Structure 1
Amino acid sequence: MEPKTRNDGLEIQFFLYGLTIVYKTSSSNQNIYVTERSEFNGIRGKFRMLQFSPEVVQGIINMEQPQCLVASYSRITVDLIDHYAIDFKKGFIIGHGIGTVSSYYPDKNLLTAEIDPLVVEISKKYFGHTGKNVIVGDGQALLKIQEAQSQDVIFLDAYSGIEIPFHLTTKEFFTLTYEKLSDRGILILNYIGKIRNDELLHTLYVTISEIFPSVKLFAANPLSTASQNIFFVASRHVLEDYSPQEATSIQIIGK
C-alpha cells in the first residue's frame, strides 16, 4: 500500500466537510479545487465553490440561482460599497476569486487584478464568469500604473491560502491606495482573522490609520472569538457611522 500524500490528506478533509471535488489542479501559487455541496447555511441548492484549502472558500455560487450572493461576506462587501461609495464610477479589485463583486456591478468600470491565470480560467469554465476586465498580474504593480486619484473604490480581497500576501499589507501598499483613490473614494479590505488578540489585525489598523484620516472596521459576529471576515473601510474624507445589515461596527481590543 502506498503511503498517503499530502494531497490525499487534503482530499479526505474535503470529504469530511461534506464536499465533492469537481475539479482539482495546481498552479505555481497554490492548489486549486472546485467543490460542490447540496446545502449551505441550511439552504438547499447546487452550491459550487472555489477553494485553495478545505477550511476557506474563495468564492461560492448557487448554480440554481447564479445571480444571488450566497456568502455573507459578499453581501457585506456590496452593502459597504453601496453605502460609502454610492454611484461610484470606477474601481479596482485585487483578487478575482470567481468574480463575485465585479459580476454584481456589470455596468460599472471595475478592473480586477488576479495573479494566477488558472484562477481566471476556472472562474470562466466552472462559474460562468465572462473574464471581462480581469488582468493577470500582481495587484500592486497593476495599481501603480493607474492614474492618481482615479479610483472611487479599491477592494483588496487577495489571499494566498488563508493569508493576505505580505506585500499587500505594507505601508508602501496602503500609501499607493491613498494616492490612487479619489477625494471621496474608499478602500475596502477583507481580512480573515480574530477580533481579539490578533496581532496582524492590530498592525493593519495602525498602518492604515497612519495613512488614511478615517478608518472603520466591521465584523459579522462581534462576540465571536473564532476567525471570521473583518472589513476595513478607509477614506480621505470622514466616514459616517453605519451599521450594515449583516455586520456590526467594531473596535480593536488588544494585539
Structure 2
Amino acid sequence: MNQINRDDRSERQIFLYGSTLIYKTSSSYQTIYVTERSEFEGMRGKFRMLQSSSDAIQGIINLEHPQLLVAAENRIVVDLIDHYAFHFQNGFIIGHGIGTISSHYSNKHLLTAEIDPLVVEVSKKYFEHTGKNVELGDGQALLKTQNAHSQDIIFLDAFSGSEIPFHLTTKEFFSLSNDKLSDKGIFIMNYIGKIKNDELLHTLYSTISGIYPCVKLFVTDPKKRSKQNIFFVASRRVLEDYSPREATLLDILD
C-alpha cells in the first residue's frame, strides 16, 4: 500500500472518531496530523491532538484548560515520578510529542531529544510549547553526550507508529541509561503492548533486569487483553511497591 492510500485511510478513520483535521504535514519520518474534538474519554472540552496515525495519539491538550494533564498515561508518569523521584532536579526525555511532561516540570531542568524537527515545530505552533530545552537528534546519541551520573530521571517515550525504535530497546541503550543516572535516579519507559502473550514485553523485562537490579512494571488496565500503555520503572536502588491512582503494579510472572 502506498503512502497516499495509507494517509487517506488514516484521515477517514480520524473523521469517523468525530475529529476535525486542523493541520497535516509530512516529514521523512512520518505523516503528522493535528486534530480537534469536543469529547475525550467522557470529558467535554476543546481537545487538540497530535497524531501520526488514526489510532495513536502522541499528545493531547484541552485548549480551555491547557495546564491539565488530559491523557491518563501522562498522569501516571507524573504520579510515578513524584513518588519515586520527588527529589529530581535534572532529567532527560527521549521523544517530545507536544512536550507535556517537560512543560509540567517547567521548574526543573529537563532536556528532551526529538529526532523529527517537524514535531517540535508543530508543538510550538499548535500546542503552545515554547521549544525550550529541546535538542534535535537521535535520543541515544544525545544521551551519550550527557555527563555520567548526571540525570535523576530518564524517560523513554519514543515511538515509530506504536513501536519503540529497535535501537532504544537494546542492552547497549539500557546500559547507557544506567551510566547516566544518578545513584538514586530512575529510568522510566512507556511501552505499548499486551500483558499476556507478549514476547517483546518479556524480552524487554529480561534485558532491563540484566542491567538494573530493581525493575517494576505498571499497567493501565490489568484486565485488558489488547494493547495498552505499560510502564517500566528501573533503578539501581530498591524501589518499594507502589499503587498509582490510575495504574496497577504488574507481576510479569503472572
Q: How many residues align?
A: 251
**Equivalence for 2:247:** 247
- The amino acid of 1:28's aligned partner reads S
The equivalences for 1:165-204 within 5 A come to: 165-204=165-204
| TM-score, length-scaled by structure 2 | 0.97
The percentage of aligned residue pairs carrying the same residue is 71
**Equivalence for 1:105:** 105
> Tell me, what secondary structure is at the counterpart of 2:88?
coil
**Equivalence for 2:115:** 115
Pairwise CA distance, 1:253: 4.5
1:29 maps onto 2:29 in alignment: yes
**Equivalence for 1:7:** 7
Displaced runs of 4+ in structure 1, greater than 6 A? none
Pairwise CA distance, 1:94: 0.1
Pairwise CA distance, 1:5: 2.9
What per-residue deviation string (whole Å, max 9, x for no partner) do you get for residues 214-246 of structure 1? 000001111110111000000000001100010
> Tell me, what secondary structure is at the counterpart of 2:187?
strand
**Equivalence for 2:20:** 20
Q: Which runs of 5+ in 2 are unaligned?
A: none
> Tell me, what secondary structure is at the counterpart of 2:159?
coil
The equivalences for 1:159-170 within 5 A come to: 159-170=159-170
Pairwise CA distance, 1:34: 0.4
CA contact 1:196–1:253 (8 Å) conserved in 2: no
CA contact 1:183–1:236 (8 Å) conserved in 2: yes
Q: Which runs of 5+ in 1 are unaligned?
A: none
Q: Provide the C-alpha distance between the structure 2 equivalents of 1:91 and 1:193, rounded to a whole number of angstroms.
A: 25
| TM-score, length-scaled by structure 1 | 0.97
1:91 maps onto 2:114 in alignment: no
CA contact 1:197–1:253 (8 Å) conserved in 2: no
CA contact 1:45–1:64 (8 Å) conserved in 2: yes
1:60 maps onto 2:50 in alignment: no
- The amino acid of 2:116's aligned partner reads D
> Tell me, what secondary structure is at the counterpart of 2:223?
coil
Q: Provide the C-alpha distance between the structure 1 equivalents of 2:218 and 2:33, rounded to a whole number of angstroms.
A: 29
Q: Provide the C-alpha distance between the structure 1 equivalents of 2:238 and 2:198, rounded to a whole number of angstroms.
A: 26
Q: Provide the C-alpha distance between the structure 1 equivalents of 2:179 and 2:189, rounded to a whole number of angstroms.
A: 16
Q: Provide the C-alpha distance between the structure 2 equivalents of 1:6 and 1:17, rounded to a whole number of angstroms.
A: 17
Q: Provide the C-alpha distance between the structure 2 equivalents of 1:226 and 1:49, rounded to a whole number of angstroms.
A: 22
Pairwise CA distance, 1:6: 2.8
Give the CA RMSD over aligned residues: 0.9
- The amino acid of 1:199's aligned partner reads E
> Tell me, what secondary structure is at the counterpart of 1:52?
strand
**Equivalence for 2:39:** 39
What per-residue deviation string (whole Å, max 9, x for no partner) do you get for residues 90-127 of structure 1? 00000000000000001100000000000000000000
- The amino acid of 2:215's aligned partner reads V
Pairwise CA distance, 1:20: 0.9
**Equivalence for 2:128:** 128
What per-residue deviation string (whole Å, max 9, x for no partner) do you get for residues 132-156 of structure 1? 0000000000000100000000000
Q: Provide the C-alpha distance between the structure 2 equivalents of 1:6 and 1:236, rounded to a whole number of angstroms.
A: 43
- The amino acid of 1:200's aligned partner reads L
